[in-house]
Amino acid sequence: MNGRLDKPSEQGAPWLAFLRSRLRRPLSFYLAALLLVAIVPSFVFSMIILKRSTDEQERVIAALLKGTTGAVTRVVEREIDSMLTTLKVLSTATPMDTRNLGQLYERASSALAGTGSHLLVIDRGHNQLLNTRAPFGSALGKASDPASIDLAFRNGGPLISNVFFGRTAGKWVFNVYLPVTTPLGNNDYLLTLTQNAENMSKAVSRDVLSPGWNAALVDSAGNVIASSDPSVAVGKPFFMSIVPSLRVGVGEATHDGVAYRTVTEFSVLTGWKVIAWARSADVDAPALWSYFWLSLGGILFAGIAIAGSVTIAGLLTQGVKVLAQDAHLLGAGRPIAPRTHMISEIETVSTALAEAAQARRKAENEIRFLMREVAHRSKNQLTVIQSMLNQSLNVGESRADFAEAFRKRIAGLARSTDLMIANATQGVDFQELAQNQLQPFIPDDPQRVRLSGPSVRLDAQVSQTLGMALHELATNATKYGALGNSRGTVDLTWSIADGAFLLVWREAGADIDAESVATTRKGFGTIVLERMLAMVLDAKLERIMHADGIEWRMTVPQGRLNANLSVQS
């Protein structure tokens, strides 16, 4: 093991860097992508729903058309069945007798009045013996549909003809044939009902069809009997080849390159077909228009959304640029004014940057102040140390004593400095300062050193000077005073009165010879007390010698201090 664990972010860094390089795009790109992600699925879903709806609609229309063509087929079959019934009634009501054709003519003309049908009697030679289209007794020619006549005689049963042009009618017609035999049995005839093909037009009227659709009735030969489309001629072959002939239902066909939808119904009775058709383009047009409008709406909405996203991205980009400028100003340490913006989050960030710039300037000012203060205090400490050294050299002490005393004085100065640094902003509490300076000198019985006074906070310079004074007082008490034996005591009291700080150092129980004290030279401690305090703090010092110990009374005027003194009760 090499003792190093790779961070997860470092393991995936190459892939992340690759993705970031590939996916680095403007904000407008991601906003547009987000909108497209929201719009495209909805658009696709709408297209699917529309497709299902149009398919279902086509199935409904196809079902309706199948029903319509089936209904047309049933109408046609009812009409043909009615004609067959009429022929059967006529064939059974009166036996066929060519000698009584006049009576048959009268009865048939009366019975068929208003039906659109006409009665014919045709023999095997295709001769018309009777035709209610013409006056009785008129000269009648050959029948116009010889092929169907021969087929009807051969089959011996009812037959429905295809459409043909009737010479007597002068129109396109169709016939229903019923073979009959005379009572003598020597001649066969065809009772025939004929109708104009146009009579079937009502069965294929556009009124019964869906919009855009047409219908035609086509005979077994593929010729048109009737059509709802005037362009589809009667008697002519239907223009589309619908194969096979018996196919029914929905289909497709093509004619002249045009695609058609078809619905076909076959009549078993007649052999005819009912064909409904429409152009595929016309049938698909509503769905295509729906797709078109849906697509156009989707493109329009997407365009509006993208334009909106580009606009929003522009606002965001503008805001980001403004924030970037403010960030550069912040980095340069220049003041920043809060900016108003349409986007509240950008405005919030701008306000935060302005506050950060203000806080930075404040912090920089504080740092500059502290740096000046550190430089000033360092100079002061160097001055104090230099003074301590100079005064120590003037004292007749041995090198060992000088080194030990100087070391202790430097340590006391360091303790004061530690308190000063730890309480740079709040100030140094005097009781804490006194305890800190006197701690090395307190004997085993702590009651021999008593501190008493209110809570007073001093600035750094004052605390440093008073700390040195307390150190010297404690040193003198240990060497020459109350702390030099096992019974002496020290009372340190302080108070604030009349705008001045009063400090009293009272020793008791010391082994002191008053005459020797009067003649003893001044040591470094006395010099510090008398010169340093008087010079730095403009303090008034009073030295009182008692029989049991020395008393120092120091009064520091508040006006001389470079900081405010506060008293906490």
Read off the pLDDT of residues 266-317 as tens digits, 9 standing for 90 and up.
Answer: 888 888 999 888 888 887 777 777 778 878 887 887 788 778 777 777 777 7
Q: 86, 160 in Cβ contact below 8 A?
A: no
Residue 413: phi and psi, rounded to 5, are -60, -40
> Could you tell me whether strands 489-497 and 449-452 are parallel, antiparallel, or unpaired per DSSP bridges?
parallel
Whether the CB-CB separation of 506 and 549 falls below 8 Å is answered with yes
- Distances in whole angstroms, Cα of residue 271 to Cα of each of 3, 103, 299, 514, 525: 98, 34, 53, 160, 145
Q: Look at the alpha carbons of 198, 202, 207, 212 in this order and tell me if their dihedral is positive or negative.
A: negative
Q: What is the pLDDT of residue 414?
A: 66
Q: For residue 402, what pLDDT is reported?
A: 66
* 273-279/428-429 β-pairing: unpaired
Q: What is the pLDDT of residue 478?
A: 83
- Burial of 463 (C-beta count, 10 Å sphere; 0-12/13-18/19+): buried
Residue 130: what are its φ and ψ, rounded to 5°? Answer: -155, 140
Q: How far apart are CA 476 and CA 246, in angstroms?
A: 139
566 contacts: CB under 8 Å, gap ≥ 6:
427, 456, 457
Residues of the chain scoring pLDDT < 50: 1-10, 186, 243, 246, 391, 516, 519-521, 562-569
Extract the tokens encoding 342: 């349409």
The structure tokens listed for 271 are 């052999």
Give pLDDT tens digits for 411-456.
Answer: 666 665 665 555 555 578 888 888 888 888 888 888 999 999 998 8
Pair of tokens at residue 274: 């009912």
Is this prediction's pTM over 0.95? Answer: no
487 Cα distance to chain centroid:
86
Q: Under a CB-based contact definition with an 8 Å cutoff, are residues 553 and 491 in contact? A: no
Asked if 264 contacts 251 with a C-beta cutoff of 8 angstroms, the reply is yes
Residue 118, token pair as written in the block: 């006409």
CA distance 93 to 103: 12
Cβ(457)–Cβ(426) below 8 Å:
yes
Residue 496: enclosing H or E segment and its boundaries?
Answer: strand 489-497
pLDDT for res 1: 43
C-alpha distances (whole Å) from 338 to each of 18, 83, 88, 103 are 37, 100, 108, 118
Measured distance CA(234)–CA(223) in Å, rounded: 7
Angstrom distance (rounded) from CA 342 to CA 543: 76
Report pLDDT for 567: 43
